[in-house]
C-alpha cells in the first residue's frame, strides 16, 4: 500500500511540471517579450488536462473499493 501511495504522489507531481502547449500557441506566445502570458496559458492547459484524469481516477477508486467490499462479504 505504501508503494502505491508513493507512486501516485510521484505521478501526480510529475505531470504538473509538463509543458502542454500546441505548436501554434507556442509560436504565437514565443514572440512575446515578457513570456508571462505563455506561462499563464501553459498552466491553464495543464490544469484543464489534469481535471478529467483526477475525476476518472476517483471514480475508478470508488468502483474498486465498492467491488472489494462486496467481494469480502
Single out the residue of 66, 16, 3, 9 nearest to residue 46, CA to CA: 16
Tens of pLDDT along 13-27? 766 555 555 667 667
69 or 24, which is more confident?
69
What was the pLDDT predicted at 18? 57
What was the pLDDT predicted at 21? 58
3-class DSSP string for the chain: CHHHHHHHHHHHHHHHCCCCCCHHHHHHHHCCCCCHHHHHHHHHHHHHHHHHHHHHHHHHHHHHHHHHHHHHC
Amino acid at each position: 500500500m505504501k508503494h502505491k501511495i508513493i507512486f501516485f504522489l510521484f505521478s501526480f507531481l510529475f505531470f504538473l511540471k509538463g509543458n502542454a502547449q500546441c505548436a501554434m500557441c507556442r509560436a504565437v506566445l514565443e514572440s512575446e517579450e515578457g513570456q508571462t502570458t505563455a506561462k499563464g496559458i501553459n498552466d491553464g492547459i495543464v490544469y484543464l488536462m489534469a481535471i478529467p484524469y483526477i475525476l476518472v481516477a476517483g471514480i475508478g477508486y470508488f468502483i474498486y473499493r465498492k467491488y472489494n467490499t462486496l467481494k469480502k462479504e
